[in-house]
């Protein structure tokens, strides 16, 4: 099995990466990754070591990722918008031996604790003076952090084999080629941005162009240039692009829509796509968005068809190499269509384990080895439709999965909050937004709570709706009934 970074020399003269600093060939990417690998080797990095890195979506992010893999180490990409406490949690939990940071994150880096912290600018390019370690498909390669129902992020450990399984399935199903040019506007600490977009592009010798942060005007301008062939985003981004288009003059709207004609594929994922967004986007651009389904733990598992029907509200059919089934509450397999149950997955793309969490790993699989996604679904005319999370404690907002329990634990640190309940409420633009009900003897205001929370939790986890109650509604067992609170909004 050929790994992604082992193809760099084959495509050496092609443009691999475009970022705010310039264009970089595959040869340049290979050389830079060799230099970083040489530095890591000299500082004692060994096979299996975890190396965390806090770098913006750009050339050096990719070079650092591949350098880590060339030494057989495990990459731990950090979320660039997380506060220091959350970054430190990932570093500590993964037992990372080193943190490599971009110069723009110096302020965060000086507050972090790790055996070694180094700026990427201090690592000079140099030829790797040793042969790359022999890797086998089952070697661990990557830890991605995600929030679970326990309220604490879990490190999802992937192998080279599981990553390649998703990459190969998407390359085949979505017809990736060396001629492709994808515009990248997503963060790189989760599957959507890292695997679906970046690694798929690199695996076939395509060009990946980064925007460090999403900007609707910049995206439409790139579309208008006619160079892009692919675009992938979360529903929230498509909503913002639609809003921008609607505020333009009629002449400019025609020009922007025309610029989308050269794109061959546009994908939406990480959250449910509202029908209104699907229809508006198709009317504006002529593109019917392709919806798919995946998770940090399973890579991509299900997708609508590239050439065939893209059924609104459905995630499609299993990707090559993926087995899918639906089970009821007691674990019995549902054979009849249109009956709701938990979607379960088996295949080479499924993760190896939750890092240092044996019990959670064991509990996430059935006895016969199927991963329990926690998502409720039905099968109708051979297409799968996701109905929602089995747990009310997972909020999906703007492509992020947020643990309500984690946010609750942070809000309870507020000196004026006695009790709280956090949950998601439906929002057309974001899928869901974070809302909270609090019990407080003070008149807690949403704006002051948001200001307080800025240094405590990531921006997308901060409540956007708030209600103050005298007490939280509970059932006979004393458990807070969040559905009852939702009705108050």
pTM as predicted: 0.86
Q: What is the percent of the chain with per-residue pLDDT over 70, rounded to a whole number?
A: 97
Q: Give residue 132's pLDDT.
A: 62
What pLDDT digit, counting tens, does each position of 170-197 carry? 999 999 999 999 999 999 999 999 999 9
Cα three-residue angle 273-278-283, rounded to 5 degrees: 165
Cα–Cα distances in angstroms (integers) from residue 291 to residues 99, 183, 237, 306, 331, in the given order: 35, 18, 14, 10, 27
What pLDDT digit, counting tens, does each position of 111-152 carry? 999 999 999 999 987 776 666 678 888 999 999 998 644 457
Region 233-243: what's the mean pLDDT? 93
| DSSP-assigned letter for residue 319 | P
pLDDT tier, 70 (very low <50, low <70, confident <90, very high otherwise): very high
Q: Give residue 392's pLDDT.
A: 73
Region 69-76: what's the mean pLDDT? 96
Could you please report the per-residue DSSP string of 36-52? HHHHHHHTT--TT-EEE
Q: Give residue 55's pLDDT.
A: 98
pLDDT tier, 474 (very low <50, low <70, confident <90, very high otherwise): confident
Q: Give residue 389's pLDDT.
A: 73
Q: Give the separation between CA 397 and CA 429, rounded to whole angstroms.
A: 9
| DSSP-assigned letter for residue 165 | H
Q: For the chain, give the longest Cα–Cα distance.
A: 68
Region 28-45: what's the mean pLDDT? 95
List domains and CATH numbers for the chain.
207-389 (3.40.50.12780), 394-486 (3.30.300.30)
Give Cα 120 distance to the centre of its chain: 23
What pLDDT digit, counting tens, does each position of 349-364 carry? 999 999 999 999 999 9
Q: Give residue 186's pLDDT.
A: 93
Q: Give the separation between CA 271 and CA 430, rounded to whole angstroms.
A: 8
């Amino acid at each position: 099995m050929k790994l992604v970074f082992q193809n760099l020399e084959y495509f050496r003269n092609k443009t691999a990466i475009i970022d705010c600093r310039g264009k970089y060939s595959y040869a340049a990417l290979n050389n830079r990754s060799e230099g970083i690998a040489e530095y890591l080797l000299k500082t004692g990095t060994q096979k299996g070591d975890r190396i965390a890195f806090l770098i913006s979506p750009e050339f050096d992010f990719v070079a650092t990722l591949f350098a880590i893999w060339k030494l057989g180490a495990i990459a731990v990409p950090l979320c660039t918008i997380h506060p220091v406490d959350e970054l430190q949690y990932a570093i500590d939990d993964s037992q990372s031996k080193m943190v490599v940071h971009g110069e723009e994150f110096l302020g965060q880096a000086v507050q972090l604790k790790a055996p070694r912290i180094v700026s990427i600018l201090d690592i000079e390019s140099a030829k790797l003076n040793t042969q790359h370690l022999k890797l086998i498909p089952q070697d661990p390669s990557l830890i991605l952090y995600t929030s679970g129902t326990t309220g604490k992020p879990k490190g999802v450990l992937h192998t080279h084999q599981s990553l390649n399984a998703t990459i190969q399935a998407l390359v085949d199903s979505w017809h990736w080629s060396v001629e492709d040019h994808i515009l990248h506007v997503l963060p790189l600490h989760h599957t959507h941005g890292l695997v679906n977009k970046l690694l798929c592009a690199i695996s076939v010798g395509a060009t990946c162009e980064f925007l460090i942060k999403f900007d609707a005007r910049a995206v439409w301008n790139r579309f208008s240039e006619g160079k892009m062939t692919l675009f992938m985003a979360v529903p929230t981004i498509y909503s913002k692009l639609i809003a921008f288009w609607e505020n333009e003059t009629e002449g400019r709207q025609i020009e922007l829509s025309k610029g989308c004609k050269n794109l061959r594929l546009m994908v939406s994922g990480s959250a449910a796509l509202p029908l209104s967004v699907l229809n508006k986007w198709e009317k504006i651009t002529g593109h019917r968005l392709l919806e798919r389904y995946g998770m940090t733990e399973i890579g991509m598992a299900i997708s609508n068809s590239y050439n065939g029907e893209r059924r609104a509200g459905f995630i499609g059919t299993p990707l090559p190499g993926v087995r899918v089934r639906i089970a009821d509450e007691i674990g019995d397999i549902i054979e009849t269509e249109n009956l709701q149950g938990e979607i379960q997955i088996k295949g080479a793309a499924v993760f190896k384990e939750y890092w240092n969490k044996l019990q959670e790993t064991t509990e996430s699989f059935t006895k016969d080895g199927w991963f329990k996604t926690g998502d409720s679904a039905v099968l109708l005319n051979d297409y799968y439709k996701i109905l929602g999370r089995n747990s009310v404690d997972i909020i999906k907002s703007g492509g992020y999965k947020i643990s309500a329990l984690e946010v609750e634990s942070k809000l309870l640190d507020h000196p004026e909050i006695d009790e709280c309940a956090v949950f998601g409420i439906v929002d057309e633009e974001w899928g869901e937004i974070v809302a909270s009900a609090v019990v407080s003897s003070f008149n807690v205001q949403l704006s002051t709570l948001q200001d307080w929370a800025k240094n405590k939790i990531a921006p997308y986890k901060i409540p956007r709706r708030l209600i103050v109650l005298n007490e939280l509604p509970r059932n006979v067992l004393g458990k807070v009934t969040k559905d009852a609170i939702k009705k108050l909004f």
